[in-house]
Amino acid sequence: MDVSFDSDFARCDLDVATQEEIFEELARPLVAAGRVKGDYASFVQSRELRFPTGLPLGEMGMAIPHTDPEHVIAPAISVATLCNPVEFHVMGSPDETVSVSVVFMLALDDGHAHIAFLQRVVRFAQDKALMSQLINATTDDDLYQLVTGSLLGDR
């Protein structure tokens, strides 16, 4: 699956306090680029309430919010590191929460390819050295370059 990840889709040290703000901020450039429909963020929020995407990764947490393919125009991802962690419910254990510092918002339009790409993101997240580099990125471009080179390969 060819997934778009433009430099505008990377946000380093995003200053937000809620999941809703995260979803709005990460969806905005995807909407502007014509990758998702205008109401994408609200559908991501609705899905997150039913199917949480928080993942505990040792000392930090990551979330992989997404929604159904009918809200996607063309496959893309948007990535952010957060200034301050935001609480998410844990995927598969919705009674538990995790403080999330990294968010990979997926906008994928093929259910089968979605699973394969989600597995790539989880493998990326399990690499402690990569996650350390991600958390320590100081600019949007650093974040963009790291994700492009490590998750998406040569583009």
For 117-153, write each residue's pLDDT tens digit: 888 888 888 888 999 999 999 999 999 999 998 888 7
7-147, CATH topology level: Mannitol-specific EII; Chain A (3.40.930)
Q: State the pTM of this model.
A: 0.93
Q: Cβ(2)–Cβ(10) under 8 Å?
A: no
For 16-28, write each residue's pLDDT tens digit: 999 999 999 999 9
- State the pLDDT at residue 60: 87
Tell me: pLDDT of 155 over 50.
no
- CA-wise closest residue to 79 among 149, 154, 1: 149
Percent residues over pLDDT 70 in the chain:
97
The encoded tokens of residue 33 equal 């680029």
